[in-house]
Homo-oligomer: A and B are copies of this chain.
Amino acid sequence: MFELDIRSRKPIYEQLVEKLKELIITEVLKTDEQLPSVRMLAQQLTINPNTIQKAYRELEVQGYIYSIKGKGSFVSPASDGLNTEKLLKVKKDIMKLLSEAMYLGVTADELITMIKEINTTIGGGIENDQN
């Protein structure tokens, strides 16, 4: 289910954060659905529980999940909170990457196609009016 590259320069917990974020964004993991427990996942991936927890905590800080002491970790509702600053960061990152892509020869049309593709994958736009 998760393919972690133990040799990668990118820390394991960051890889985990990314993978889980992706599952949440693509709604494979739905709102309020329970994530695998720290220990279970640790065992499955043969990784130290602390590493899993670090990933979960990071996801919690970023607003993607919430954890309840004796119960488990769960997916937060989308657009839950205060993503204004996060939005700014993501937009900047996108600008940077888009520039690089175009320098490498990607056309604007290709990019637009990608966007439309994602738009269907996610399931259409999400209403959000706090920006």
Contacts of A121 in B (CB 8 A): 99
Main secondary structure of the interface of A (DSSP, over half): helix
Number of A interface residues in the complex (CB < 8 A):
60
- Nearest-CB residue, chain B, relative to A87: B104
Tell me the bound Cα distance from A13 to B98 in angstroms: 22
Chain B residues within 8 Å of A76, by CB: 7
How many copies of this kind of chain does the complex include? 4
Provide the residues of chain B in CB contact with A18, threshold 8 Å. Answer: 96
Evaluate contact between B103 and A126: CB separation under 8 angstroms.
Answer: yes
- CB within 8 A of A115: which of B61, B66, B87, B108? B108
Are B105 and A79 in touch, CB under 8 angstroms? yes
Is A36's CB within 8 Å of the partner chain B?
no
Identity of the chain B residue whose Cβ is nearest the Cβ of A125 in the assembled complex: B107
CA distance A97 to B103 in the complex (A): 18
Question: What CA separation (Å) do A10 and B123 show in the bound complex?
Answer: 32
